[in-house]
Amino acid sequence: MKTMTFEVDGDGVALISIDVPGRPMNVITPEFTADLTEAVEAVAGDETIRGAIITSAKPGSFIAGADLKDLVTAFDKGMTEAEAAEFAGELSRLFRRLETCGKPFVAAMNGLALGGGLELCLACHHRVLSNHPKAIVGLPEVSVGLLPGAGGTQRLPRLIGIPKALPLLLQGKQIKPDAALAVGVVDAVGAPESLVDMARVWLMDAPTAEQPWDRKGFQVPGGAGPLAPHALETFSAGNALVSGMTQGNYPAPPAIMSCVYEGTQVSIDKGLGIEVKYFGKLLAGSVARNMIRTLFINKGAADKLAGRPKDVPKSRVAKLGVLGAGMMGAGIAHVSAKAGMEVVLLDSTLDQAEKGKQGIAKLQEKALAKGKTTRDKVVELLERITATDDYALLEGCDLVIEAVFEDRGIKADVTAKAEAVIPESATFGSNTSTLPITGLATASKRPKQFIGIHFFSPVEKMPLVEVILGEQTDDATLARTLDYIGQIRKTPIVVHDFPGFYTSRVFGSFTQEGQRMLMDGIEPALIENAAKMAGFPVGPLAVSDEVTLSLQQSIYKQQDVDGLDDKYRGTLARPVVDKMVDELKRPGRRQGGGFYDYPENGQKRLWPGLREAFPPAAEQPDVEELKLRFLYRMAVETARCVEEGVITSPIDADIGSILGIGYPAWTGGTLSFIDTVGVREFVATCKRLAERWGPRFEPPQELQARVEREEGYYQAMKAA
């Protein structure tokens, strides 16, 4: 066996210890499945074997689930739903054989057990879980557009009841040992070093080798089907809730609901057949491919700094300088101190710097109240942050990040003052969202060591960092910047210097499209709802209020000064912004109101005056047309960024669009969306939209050339 060891002791207890080679955590691979099949048959066919214990040889980890790299190729290979179901059925049948072979199996779960790993445990007749702090169990398949395909939707409801099982299945919740024991997912919790002994004690006590659901007269705890006491809440209300959450864009949650509803009313074997059928439909679809590829495989590679220049030695930031103690600067200081760095938080006055540090302290107190940290850790973190107005304290910094106001003059001033103090080897990063890095670098004496490091707000929660290369930025500076981003556990993408870079430019196309719709006479509520129905987390008018219309106006004014080409500016929707700020005095949420009202004791609501300011047309467009406008507008802008060399990797484009600017996850990102639609159909739809709504939808020449070659973005990347 290549992925596990098999030993039998003198009492006839078999110990199956999983250790998939070359992997930090065990994952389910074809080799694993073959080895486990052999092990199960060895236990079943040997009369001298009393039963078996399944555990892991990897400390702190049982099985992390299936190898997603094996699943992501199904759609691209053109796998049919039936073929995908058969693919999943192999593991499902193996687990069923394990639980019905007549010998008891115990799962000694010495750590993390997720997805197929937990499904294996559910097929075992007894489960003991480590109380290690990092131990968790869960069925997170829904987060990659799938459902548990090896019995999870059938065994879990039969074990703990449908009302308890559905949240774990629909939300992909991962729970800690005490919660797993309380809800009934495991039978016992113990110290890691005691798990095998605990499992052995159970086996030696002549336990049954029959699952509850295989016994005559078994009923699902709490009932199943339309007559169950909980049916109205779990199925009727639950389906409505799922429909509202997914808007028809994510097929996995409704498929999970169907599996549970249909499968728990029939025998376990028929239920497993139902589950495999639904799994096959999801695996063969584009949504699972898109989500797996972008959010797990490609994001995982980015987190491991796959794009880092290989010939530059690894580095670590021990001391960081942050210029500007506002919300953004304080956020950068916070995550950096949390990662163990000494941080100098500098502002123009000591009071402002201290205010930034006090904001960090408040966030830490909230984390303490929720049990997410300890008092000692809070004290240690705050001691690592020095609030000051004295540039001399930047001496010895490995990296300095300026997060001051978006004004060239201010940024040039702080750059010069910092470089007068910091070591010649230090890297200087600008947290700008729109100002070209090459231009800002003219204020630096070391333009090769000058780079853009664009964080997203709030820094503590947003996972993405956009790295912008100036014309003179060298590889060593890029490598050191990526090393820093790895230290603070963020996900980096790398783009090239251009007005608006990548994320701000594409995000601007979303807000501007929503504002333009107001000018087109479209009802404000229809605008917001169409965006949400397409899968965006927030409507364009609401998000405009959050970033503030006054900031958007200031960017437009800066573009006037720069003489920026109209195609990189929001001129199409600028009349809306100017009217809201200058005439209606509604510049955004922070100033009391924008497109929305924000009552002190109530929910935000669209400002009633919008209909008077931007009168709706008598005839409103179909919501599907508005959804297309949002999805296609951002995707075609990304295609322009590719044509102009702003972004060179579809991986970075997709990760950035989902993690940074809220493009719907079901698409896989802006370029995955184009590939999924197909370049020919996408271009045809763009031309139709351009004819009706304007030239901003015109596909760029580089994209149109792909139609002739019948080549999508990921196809081109594989061919390169």
β-strand pairing of 60-63 with 111-114? parallel
Helix runs in 293-448, H state only: 299-303, 327-338, 350-369, 375-383, 408-419, 437-440
Structurally, at CATH architecture level, domain 4-284 sits in: Alpha-Beta Complex (3.90)
Q: Where in the sequence of the chain do the CATH 1.10.1040.50 domains occur?
A: 504-645+647-719
β-strand pairing of 596-597 with 605-606? antiparallel
Q: Where in the sequence of the chain do the CATH 3.40.50.720 domains occur?
A: 319-498
CA 30 to chain centre: 27
What one-character DSSP code corresponds to residue 588? Answer: B
Q: Determine the straight-line distance between the first and last CA of the chain, rounded to whole angstroms.
A: 37
Contact 436, 423 (CB under 8 A): no
Return the CATH number of the domain spanning residue range 319-498: 3.40.50.720
Nearest to 144 by CA among 235, 226, 252: 252
Q: Where in the sequence of the chain do the CATH 3.90.226.10 domains occur?
A: 4-284
Structure tokens at 712: 């999508």
Distance CA 372, CA 707 (A): 51
The per-residue pLDDT for 720 is 57
Whether the pTM exceeds 0.75: the reply is yes
Q: What are the average pLDDT values for consecutive 10-residue runs of the chain, which has 720 residues?
A: 94 95 92 96 95 94 90 85 90 96 95 95 96 92 94 96 94 94 96 93 87 94 88 83 86 94 95 96 94 94 94 96 95 96 96 96 94 93 96 97 90 95 96 89 95 94 96 96 97 91 92 94 96 95 90 77 61 86 90 90 90 93 96 97 94 96 96 96 96 93 94 80
What one-character DSSP code corresponds to residue 134? Answer: T
Distance CA 147, CA 172 (A): 9
The per-residue pLDDT for 233 is 85
Name the residues annotated as catalytic: 454
* Residue 554, burial from CB neighbour count under 10 angstroms (0-12, 13-18, 19+): middle
The per-residue pLDDT for 408 is 87
Residue 37, helix vs strand vs coil: helix
Average pLDDT, the chain: 93
Distance CA 135, CA 123 (A): 19
- Going from the C-alpha of 501 to that of each of 182, 546, 575, 640, 685, the distances in angstroms are 50, 21, 23, 12, 26
Return the CATH number of the domain spanning residue range 504-645+647-719: 1.10.1040.50
Phi, psi of 506 (to 5 degrees): -75, -40
Phi, psi of 161 (to 5 degrees): 95, 150
